[in-house]
Structure 1
């Protein structure tokens, strides 16, 4: 269910229509506000549009880096799972062809 959430960014109030939790929307707005503050503090004479573009670039850079790290982590997890699966297959084959010969590996 969409609702209206009031946020303040760089001293300007905005009303955001969102289906997200209002606390989440406020947190996002606070993050954007902090990024803009960081850009503006670096250059007080920066026009607002340029500050918005630079803050957006910083945010997207963070997003891309996190996405890259997630992809690397997923690849590493997939590799490890593949290695474990192969190892398990080897162990199961060895048990099946062990001294009891082709048994289920279950002993009574």
Structure 2
């Protein structure tokens, strides 16, 4: 069942419909509001539509940075996991030879 809730972003009220938890949806809206407010501080006199685009670009940039870091971590973990498995296999080979 879809929930309906109201949030305020940058002085405008929006109705959201979805299956997300209300607290989570409000947290997301609060984050977008915060980003738009930050952008407004750097870009005086810009209309709210352009401000929303700048905030979206900023949020997308954060997302891409996090994805990149996650890929790096995954590669590091994968490498360490392979090293551990190889070490364990070597230990088993030594037991077989004895």
Any runs of at least 4 consecutive aligned residues in structure 1 with deviations exceeding 3 A, and if so which? none
Q: After TM superposition, give the deviation of residue 27 of structure 1 in Å.
A: 0.2
Aligned alpha-carbon RMSD (Å): 0.8
Specify the alignment match of 1:90 in structure 2: 90
User: Structure 2: which 5+ residue stretches go unaligned?
Assistant: none
Q: After TM superposition, give the deviation of residue 43 of structure 1 in Å.
A: 2.1
Specify the alignment match of 2:49 in structure 1: 49
Q: Secondary structure at the match of 1:13?
A: strand
Structure 1, 63-72 or 41-50: larger mean CA deviation: 41-50
* 1:22 has 2:22 as partner: yes
TM-score by length of 2: 0.96
Q: After TM superposition, give the deviation of residue 44 of structure 1 in Å.
A: 2.2
Specify the alignment match of 2:60 in structure 1: 60
* 1:9 has 2:9 as partner: yes
The one of the two structures with greater contact order (alpha-carbon pairs below 8 A, sep at least 6) is: 2
Structure that is richer in helix per residue: 2
Provide the aligned length of Structure 1 versus Structure 2.
Answer: 98
Instruction: Please give the alpha-carbon distance, in whole angstroms, between the structure 1 residues aligned to 2:39 and 2:61.
Output: 14
